[in-house]
Amino acid sequence: MMKIRYPSRREFLGAISASTLLGDQRTEPDLVLYNANILAVDAAQPRAQAVAIAGGRFFAVGSNDDVRRLAKAGTRQVDIGGKTVVPGFIDAHTHPSYAGIRHLRWVDCDLRSIADIQKAIRERAAKTPAGDWVIGFKYDDTKTKEGRKLTRDDLDAAAPAHPVFIEHRGGHTAYVNSLALRRTEISDATADPEGGKFDRDPATGHLTGGLRENATAPFRKLIPTTFTRDEMRQGVKLISQMMVRTGVTSVHDAEAAPEDLLAYQDAREAGELSFRVYCLMQHQFLDRMIAAGIRTGLGDDWLRVGAVKLVCDGSISERTARLTQPYVGRPTDYGILVSSEEELYANARKAHEAGWQIGTHANGDAAIDIMLRIYERLQREMPRRDPRYRLEHCTVVNPALIGRIRALGAIPTPFSTYVYYHGEKMREYGAERLDWMFAVRSFLDAGIRVTQASDYPPGPFEPMMALQSEVTRTDSHGNVWGARQRVTVEEALRVGTLNGAYASFEEDRKGSITAGKLADLVVLGRDPLKVDPMTLIEIPIERTMTGGRWVYES
């Protein structure tokens, strides 16, 4: 027998004060969803059939009979037809504003053949004045069926009258056409720059259009990368629509600049923001924000200032994370540190003193060790209750690091879709290390509130891919990576919802279908607890609701 759960006094007061602010004294639901299979991610009431919503919040959660009884004449009632309903997903580390403006202005090259990429470039060129740049992003040479890299000839054939620049998904390599080479006056006679390389045909020495690392710099200087305030707002609108279609209702922007914060605010005021945003701010703006009296938590349920973002080491997909043991096949390569410990400590201390949450990019075990040492030192020198230090990515761990993360109450935000999507890059870490990468099982077993995070664009953001990746630890080709880190579907659901809310100090406001919380939910086409875990990714997202409003309906 399902018992109805009414809001607690605190939750009820929260709901009332929210509607009072709106000048609205509603004490009856405006919407009831019933005949649903609700997976609430609420330990007090894990399952329910119906939910009532008032003023953008859950008003009551329980059985069909109990909840429908609350409906009044003006209440809309929607039969969910037995479909599964889960809380809206929270992507705890992603780059939505950055991605949105690129989706708006650039060509998405996440396609499965060079022919498809050529088609997309040809279409964009047709709408672009001759001579203007056509720019692509998210190209991945390991994902196209031709089994070779893009060349200048491919790009010339697609857009001979436009300079073309196609960025790799990882960001460190790019591909250009002949007109782009002419614009930079780079020819077969040009020597490779320091720290970079122009790809050449081994037989003729002729440039093939491939650029590595610093060889991309002359092109990046010419590419238009300044966007108007209006374009930034439109980019946010676009990416929020793209993400809510997949069930994401909240994002943590992992590295926002002031123009990103402004773009979110502009989109919100224009009624174009479909998800909620918690903004981790780039550390170079910290002094000015502290001077303005700003710290973590400022904002509201739609847009909030989050942690300050620091960066310690390199990346996983580009194989530059700082490790204590070298990369497989490269015995002297331990990856790179991008900041010194003293510099990181100085920035972290300033933020900690001013009451900021801190989120530091730390992928490799060597980098995580450094950041834990800094966080431990801060707590010794200036103890703060519940600082919720974040370890962004926190990819390669071991039992000793996990013990320290647990003792600090720190929050890891590992890549949720990498095992499934980036399987071909996993070999360089080796099977043994993979047992301790994206270590969701180990974090949960230690009582650590690990989150789900895409890091989009580098990783896909679809929550159903995240679930499949975490539950099966199997890549899209069927290879298993680190099977001991598998979790159950129910655990992955909690990681992707309630734990994400905790990482932004909002677990009392969202992350579960609980009376009094914000009405963010997703209607799924199938029950994730009942399907073959290898098919989780195929579950259709039927509808997404943010704040009591359907922001996506299939």
> Where along the sequence are the contacts to Zn ion (CB under 5 A)?
254, 455
The CB-of-218 to Zn ion minimum distance in angstroms stands at: 26
Is the Cβ of residue 94 or residue 216 nearer to Zn ion in the bound state? 94
**What number of other Cβ atoms are within 10 A of residue 20's Cβ?**
11
Is the Cβ of residue 70 or residue 254 nearer to Zn ion in the bound state? 254
**Cα angle, residue 58 at apex, residues 55 and 63 outer, rounded to 5°:** 135
CA dist 117 and 342 (Å) reads 45
Is the Cβ of residue 83 or residue 93 nearer to Zn ion in the bound state? 93
Strands 134-139 vs 107-108: parallel, antiparallel or unpaired: parallel
Strands (DSSP E) contained in 120-163 are: 134-139
Q: Which helix (H) or strand (E) holds 365?
A: helix 365-381
Backbone dihedral angles phi then psi of residue 427, each to the nearest 5 degrees: -55, -35
User: In the 8-state DSSP scheme, what is residue 438?
Assistant: S
Omega cis (within 30) before 457: yes
The CB-of-95 to Zn ion minimum distance in angstroms stands at: 6
Is the Cβ of residue 256 or residue 551 nearer to Zn ion in the bound state? 256
Tokens standing for residue 62: 């329980």
Q: Which helix (H) or strand (E) holds 91?
A: strand 89-94
Helix, coil or strand: residue 181: helix
End-to-end CA distance of the chain: 33
Q: Are 424 and 142 in contact (CB under 8 A)?
A: yes
Is the Cβ of residue 309 or residue 441 nearer to Zn ion in the bound state? 309
Is the Cβ of residue 42 or residue 392 nearer to Zn ion in the bound state? 392
The CB-of-102 to Zn ion minimum distance in angstroms stands at: 14
135 strand-pairing partners:
165
The CB-of-387 to Zn ion minimum distance in angstroms stands at: 21
The CB-of-453 to Zn ion minimum distance in angstroms stands at: 8
The CB-of-544 to Zn ion minimum distance in angstroms stands at: 23
Is the Cβ of residue 91 or residue 470 nearer to Zn ion in the bound state? 91
Is the Cβ of residue 165 or residue 456 nearer to Zn ion in the bound state? 456
Backbone dihedral angles phi then psi of residue 481, each to the nearest 5 degrees: -125, 110
Is the Cβ of residue 34 or residue 389 nearer to Zn ion in the bound state? 389
Q: What is the CA radius of gyration of the chain?
A: 24
CA dist 96 and 75 (Å) reads 35
Closest CA to 213 of 101, 393, 336, 88: 336
The CB-of-393 to Zn ion minimum distance in angstroms stands at: 7
CA dist 263 and 243 (Å) reads 17
